[in-house]
């Protein structure tokens, strides 16, 4: 079983530490590998503990639940209602141009992208009769969906105090084809990670393997260290949020990395054993091809926006 499924509390972490005689905290490593080289060993050295067990009853991350009532107010916005409702004909029955005419260029493009994701990889080789085969790149499409959907939610959310001064283009900043920052000019509500494919799929859903979770954890730590160097301290700065996308699926992660953990991580010499942990909460996967999935994704994204310091 994966790290995500097994290290679900501190006792499980400690049991693994005892079983691995050569295990050391990451603060004692002379060289830390890049994110794409991380796996179970790096996760354990970084002292990651998964806290998702027992949170299945809520579709929102713990740090965002305090904004759940305000987030649901976003559902009253006309643009959000249209986003939740989605296209009114089965997927694939409209061309991109038709969808743009019916729903507007932005939402129409989003629906066109989602329609291209098949239920099975074999469907790429067997397009419906009468359809012209157009080259389709799942990695680029995944990234565009992962960027467009939060952008539309951010754009349609009702103004919250000073948010009227923040334009949507400042809330989604593109870094590369496969990664975006969902941010304003100074704060970072969430990192967006778009994955072309996952190493393992179970019951039709992507699985957070050790390598995928390793990349995400390394990136969360890097951002947390960056914020700490810029003077970010306190409870509001301890959480790093991620929006992880794989094809039509989206899920939300919350990494809690305390100031005490950061202090131990960067302590000179690294001689003392670390005592803090990186804590992780994760929502289930939500399918953006059905209204229930979109509704749960909107709740988390709206809460991310509303819960930022400029809205307090």
In DSSP terms, which residues pair with 205 in a beta bridge?
Answer: 202
Tens digit of pLDDT at every position of the chain (312 positions): 899 999 999 999 999 999 987 889 999 998 889 998 999 999 999 999 999 765 556 799 999 988 888 888 888 888 889 899 988 877 777 777 888 887 887 888 888 889 888 754 434 444 444 444 455 677 788 888 888 898 888 877 765 444 444 333 333 333 333 344 444 434 556 788 877 666 788 888 888 999 999 999 999 999 899 888 877 555 667 999 999 998 899 999 999 999 999 999 988 766 788 999 999 999 999 999 999 999 999 999 998 887 765 444
Q: Look up residue 110 and give its two tokens.
A: 């989003």
49 strand-pairing partners: 279
Q: What pLDDT sits at residue 120?
A: 46
Report how far residue 171's alpha carbon sits from residue 251's, in angstroms, rounded to the nearest whole number.
19
Pick the closest to residue 302 from 148, 75, 106 (CA basis): 75
Q: What is the residue extent of each domain of the chain? A: 3-88+138-311
CA–CA distance, 172 with 154 (Å, rounded to integer) = 9
């Amino acid at each position: 079983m994966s790290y995500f499924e097994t290290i679900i509390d501190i006792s499980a972490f400690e049991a693994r530490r005892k079983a691995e005689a050569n295990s050391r905290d990451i603060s004692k490593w002379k060289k830390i590998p890049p994110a794409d080289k991380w796996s179970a060993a790096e996760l354990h050295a970084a002292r990651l503990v998964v806290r998702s067990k027992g949170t299945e009853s809520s579709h929102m991350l713990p740090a965002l639940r305090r904004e759940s009532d305000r987030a649901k107010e976003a559902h009253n916005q006309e643009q959000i209602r249209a986003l939740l409702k989605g296209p009114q004909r089965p997927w694939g029955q409209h061309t991109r141009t038709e969808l743009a005419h019916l729903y507007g260029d932005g939402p129409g493009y989003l629906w066109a992208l989602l329609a291209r994701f098949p239920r099975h990889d074999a469907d790429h080789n067997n397009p419906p009769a009468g359809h012209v085969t157009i080259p389709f790149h799942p990695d680029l499409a995944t990234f565009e969906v992962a960027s467009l959907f939060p952008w539309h939610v951010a754009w349609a959310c009702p103004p919250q105090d000073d948010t009227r001064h923040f334009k949507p283009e400042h809330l989604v900043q593109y870094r590369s084809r496969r990664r975006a920052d969902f941010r304003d000019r100074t704060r970072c509500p969430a990192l967006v990670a778009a994955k072309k494919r996952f190493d393992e799929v179970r019951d039709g859903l992507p699985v957070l393997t050790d390598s995928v979770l390793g990349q995400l954890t390394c990136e969360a730590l890097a951002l947390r260290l960056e914020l700490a160097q810029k003077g970010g301290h306190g409870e509001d700065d301890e959480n790093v949020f991620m929006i992880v996308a794989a094809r039509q699926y989206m899920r939300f992660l919350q990494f809690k990395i305390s100031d005490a953990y950061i202090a131990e991580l960067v302590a000179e010499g690294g001689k003392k054993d670390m005592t803090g942990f990186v804590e992780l909460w994760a929502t289930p996967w939500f399918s953006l091809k059905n209204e229930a999935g979109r509704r749960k994704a909107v709740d988390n994204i709206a809460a991310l926006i509303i819960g930022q310091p400029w809205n307090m």
